[in-house]
């Protein structure tokens, strides 16, 4: 046996599971307590800074942007849990005439907050989770940097820079994407915690079976929390196979397990979306804009080179550091696997963000590409850029230290004293603060503006909120239909409570309304965008019984003035309720990509006011038989609603109707295959009426009609798949399970009688 003489180590340390060096040995990675704790000191410092600067997010006010929808989802989830129901199988009634919103849209974060809301109250749970996820984000950034094989210094610098990103678009991994004066993309904030850990554990899983289970867990969480971020978690599974060290066969096998496990573990989210995908509308209004298609390679690269991807509006400190890190990783490509991984995911995210604007029809190769906002993939380039900035910053620091030593050489005096180590750590921290000064001073000023805006809104709600609250109380007490208070595309955008438009403020009060458009994937969300406030027939079609208008603004349709308070006036319209008896006189052919635009002529016509609706041939299907062709002469109204009881939050609407002839009873809610209907206690077929409403044909007479939303019925099976997948992965990841798989499936000899 050959032995190796003992002696001082000469090789750089190897990151477990990477096969590559952590990085050059230097003071930042020197062994000892100070070196281990110093990076966490940097993380703690930026966490404390964020805790102070973003505390205004804990104050309860109505929200300006998408946070209004997410907060409402938390309230809904809390209410459904308290009633003993799952949000995924429930009808979300508030936007776009309702939809199975928790099926079409990622709702795991809202459900988790809903559970918390049962203890704290739903609105408080939303604010608490937003604040904590935002403030503590440097923690998963640092942890994932270490999992990816980066040194403590690089990880600490990446974490220290993470709260200070700022881009021209503003919807990436940056405070503007989440705070009150920003965009409120709260679901993305949840996934911003899962994605870094998904990258880190997936990278470890390439060389360590023990990392397979956590890799599946965090990839699956990323997919379930935010669909677009999910792509950034799944695609690196295939990329890391080619850049990780070690034999390729084990890498490929582990990657296959991670991919298959993640797909099975997320089936409870993805399968319902796929199965019911034809009933989820595309955003027709934004479909041909960069918001959906991406800004293209030229624009994104311009932002990158000019510093506006990481440092919009300031000196490009993160941009410069990430550029240095990119160069360092490329020059170490062969000997530093973590650097290869960073370059690969950075390039992947950047290319994906180019979107349909650059790649055109090729984007169909990306599953579900028609339903995602491709510009959002820039968040992956930002996350990878943080790690590159950490590598670049440490490389520059070490290059500077080497230059200083060459310029002022000192005789060797033995190991550095603890005091000197502390001095090095403090000097490094001071240098980091100085380097990031343009970033944190800019963000500090931005946080102050946000706090002032929240305070101003809170004061406005103490006065204007009380005034409009009287109108809202009347609507709640009397019911009878939805409320219209303008839209983003008309005067509604400037009719506000403080800075929040009234149609958004109504949402904060869970008032069923028409006008807050393009918020869900309901089939009525695009037709709602074309709601014609001058057409009296559109109000009963959309179930609108009330209007809240600016005081002094007359109603554009016949209506009764109910009451006024301050700058707000409440009006009521003649027809009330969500159920209507109508004739079907023609056919409208639509699908999920054009239901809005194809409905415009009908919504602008006189037909809705005359209770003359159109049957729908959806997706090339056969429409229901007409009750009265358009050429026939209508002999008065086909019928009336005698009594109506609505509980759309519970997924039901019941009415007693009197019909004079064969007619259709229509519910002013968005069509979905989950709707069922009973006529006089017997199950009947649900029809689809224009633009996309559920209805049922009845003969002359008195009938009791009950619409019920049953929801997607296969969740128990899909949740069972999740449980079984988790159990199998736990077993396979254990020593005994791995040995069994290796012995029975890999190393077992082949018998003659096994070959057939």
- Confidence category of residue 636, pLDDT binned at 50, 70, 90: confident
* pLDDT exceeds 50 at position 751: no
pLDDT value at residue 631: 60
Contact criterion met (CB below 8 Å) for 318 and 385: yes
Mean pLDDT, residues 355-372 taken together = 89
* pLDDT exceeds 90 at position 682: yes
* pLDDT exceeds 70 at position 738: no
Mean pLDDT, residues 538-560 taken together = 97
Contact criterion met (CB below 8 Å) for 705 and 639: no
pLDDT value at residue 733: 75
Estimate the crossing angle of helix 138-147 against helix 152-161, to 10 degrees: 150
Among 55-69, 584-598, 714-728, name the one with the lowest average pLDDT. 714-728
Closest CA to 337 of 234, 448, 246, 403: 246
Closest CA to 549 of 535, 570, 532, 563: 570
More confident residue, 632 or 745: 632
Question: Tokens 């079984």 label which residue?
Answer: 724
CA distance 731 to 693: 49
Question: Tokens 């290319």 label which residue?
Answer: 351
**CA-based diameter of the chain, in Å?**
108
CA distance 510 to 504: 10
CA distance 98 to 525: 9
Among 71-80, 498-507, 623-632, name the one with the lowest average pLDDT. 623-632
CA distance 650 to 28: 58
Contact criterion met (CB below 8 Å) for 487 and 503: yes
Question: Tokens 């128990």 label which residue?
Answer: 716
Q: Work out the burial of residue 161: count CB atoms within 10 Å of its CB; fewer than 13 is exposed, 13-18 middle, 19 or more buried.
A: buried
Q: Is 646 helix (H, G, I), strand (E, B) or coil?
A: strand
Give per-residue pLDDT as tens, 76-107: 999 999 999 999 999 999 999 999 999 999 99
pLDDT value at residue 421: 55
pLDDT value at residue 82: 96
Mean pLDDT, residues 403-425 taken together = 64
Contact criterion met (CB below 8 Å) for 596 and 529: yes
- Cross-strand partners of 666: 580, 695
pLDDT value at residue 748: 37
pLDDT value at residue 730: 86
pLDDT value at residue 22: 41
More confident residue, 726 or 686: 686
579-709 adopts what CATH topology?
Answer: Immunoglobulin-like (2.60.40)
Q: Is 564 helix (H, G, I), strand (E, B) or coil?
A: strand
CA distance 104 to 72: 16
**Helix-strand-coil split of the chain, %, nearest 5:** 55, 15, 30
Q: Work out the burial of residue 246: count CB atoms within 10 Å of its CB; fewer than 13 is exposed, 13-18 middle, 19 or more buried.
A: middle
- What's the N-to-C CA distance of the chain in angstroms? 46
Among 253-267, 678-692, 700-714, 732-746, name the one with the lowest average pLDDT. 732-746
Give per-residue pLDDT as tens, 240-268: 999 999 999 999 999 999 999 999 999 99
Query: Average pLDDT, whole number, for the chain?
Result: 90
Backbone region of residue 368 per phi and psi (left: phi > 0; alpha: psi in -120 to 50; beta: other values): left
E strand spans, 30-180: none
Q: What percentage of the chain has pLDDT greater than the value 70? A: 88
Reported pTM: 0.90
Q: Give how far the C-alpha of residue 49 lies from the chain's centroid of Cα atoms, to the nearest Å.
A: 26
More confident residue, 154 or 400: 154
Q: What percentage of the chain has pLDDT greater than the value 90? A: 80
Q: Is the dihedral of CA 737, 738, 741, 747 positive or negative?
A: negative
């Amino acid at each position: 046996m050959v032995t190796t003489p003992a002696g001082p180590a000469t090789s750089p340390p190897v990151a477990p599971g990477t096969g590559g060096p952590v990085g050059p040995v230097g003071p930042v990675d020197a062994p000892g307590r100070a070196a281990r704790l110093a990076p966490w000191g940097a993380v703690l410092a930026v966490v404390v800074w964020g805790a102070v600067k973003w505390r205004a997010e804990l104050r309860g006010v109505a929200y300006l942007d998408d946070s209004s929808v997410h907060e409402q989802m938390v309230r809904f989830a809390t209410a459904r849990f308290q009633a003993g129901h799952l949000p995924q199988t429930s009808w979300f009634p508030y936007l776009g005439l309702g939809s199975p919103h928790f099926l079409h849209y990622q709702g795991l974060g809202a459900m988790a907050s809903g559970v918390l809301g049962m203890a704290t109250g739903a609105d408080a749970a939303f604010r608490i989770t937003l604040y904590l996820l935002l403030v503590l984000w440097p923690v998963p950034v640092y942890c994932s940097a270490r999992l990816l094989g980066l040194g403590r210094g690089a990880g600490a610098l990446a974490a220290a820079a993470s709260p200070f990103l700022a881009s021209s678009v503003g919807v990436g991994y940056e405070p503007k994407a989440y705070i009150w004066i920003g965009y409120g993309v709260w679901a993305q904030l949840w996934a911003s915690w899962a994605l870094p850990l998904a990258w880190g554990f997936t990278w470890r899983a390439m060389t360590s079976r023990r990392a397979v289970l956590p890799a599946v867990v965090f990839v699956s969480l990323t997919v379930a929390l935010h669909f677009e971020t999910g792509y950034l978690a799944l695609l690196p599974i295939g990329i890391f196979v080619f850049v990780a060290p070690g034999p390729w066969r084990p890498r490929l096998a582990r990657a296959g397990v991670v991919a298959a496990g993640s797909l099975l573990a997320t089936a409870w989210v993805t399968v319902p979306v796929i199965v019911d995908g034809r009933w989820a509308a595309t955003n027709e209004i934004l479909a041909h804009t960069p918001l959906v298609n991406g800004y293209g390679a030229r624009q994104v690269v311009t932002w990158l080179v000019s510093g506006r991807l990481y440092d919009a509006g300031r000196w490009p400190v993160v941009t410069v550091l990430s550029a240095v890190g990119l160069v360092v990783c490329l020059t170490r490509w062969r000997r530093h696997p973590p650097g290869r991984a960073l370059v690969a995911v950075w390039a992947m995210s950047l290319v994906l963000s180019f979107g349909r604007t650059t790649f055109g029809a090729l984007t169909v190769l990306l599953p579900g590409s028609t339903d995602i906002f491709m510009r959002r993939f820039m968040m992956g380039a930002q996350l990878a850029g943080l790690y590159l900035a950490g590598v670049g910053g440490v490389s520059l620091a070490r290059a500077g230290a080497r230059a200083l030593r060459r310029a002022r050489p000192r005789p060797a005096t033995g190991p550095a004293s603890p005091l000197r180590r502390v001095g090095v750590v403090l000097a490094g921290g001071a240098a980091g603060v100085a380097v990031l000064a343009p970033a944190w001073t800019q963000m500090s000023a931005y946080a102050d503006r946000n706090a002032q805006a929240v305070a101003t809104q809170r004061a406005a709600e103490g006065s204007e909120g009380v005034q409009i609250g009287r109108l809202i109380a009347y609507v709640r007490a009397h019911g009878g239909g939805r409320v219209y208070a303008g839209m983003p595309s008309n005067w509604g955008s400037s009719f506000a409570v403080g800075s929040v438009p009234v149609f958004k403020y109504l949402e904060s009060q869970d008032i069923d309304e028409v006008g807050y458009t393009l918020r869900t994937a309901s089939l009525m969300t695009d037709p709602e965008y074309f709601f014609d406030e001058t057409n009296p027939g559109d109000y009963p079609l959309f179930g609108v019984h009330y209007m809240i208008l600016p005081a002094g603004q007359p109603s554009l349709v016949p209506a009764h003035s109910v009451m006024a308070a301050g700058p707000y006036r409440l009006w009521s319209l003649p027809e009330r309720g969500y159920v209507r008896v109508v004739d079907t006189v023609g056919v409208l052919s639509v699908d999920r990509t054009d239901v809005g635009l194809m409905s415009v002529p009908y919504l602008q016509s006189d037909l809705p006011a005359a209770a003359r609706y159109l049957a729908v041939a959806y997706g090339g299907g056969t429409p229901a038989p007409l009750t009265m062709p358009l050429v026939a002469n209508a002999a008065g109204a086909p019928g009336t609603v005698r009594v109506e009881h609505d509980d759309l939050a519970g997924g039901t609407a019941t009415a007693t109707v009197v019909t004079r002839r064969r007619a259709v009873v229509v519910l002013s809610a968005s069509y979905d295959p989950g709707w069922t209907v009973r006529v006089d206690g017997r199950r009947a077929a649900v029809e689809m009426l224009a633009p996309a409403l559920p209805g049922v044909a009845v003969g002359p007479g008195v009938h009791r009609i009950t619409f019920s939303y049953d929801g997607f019925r296969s969740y128990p099976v899909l949740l069972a798949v999740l449980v079984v997948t988790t159990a199998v992965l736990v077993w396979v990841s254990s020593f005994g399970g791995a040995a069994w798989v290796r012995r029975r499936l890999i190393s077992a000899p082949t018998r003659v009688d096994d070959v057939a």
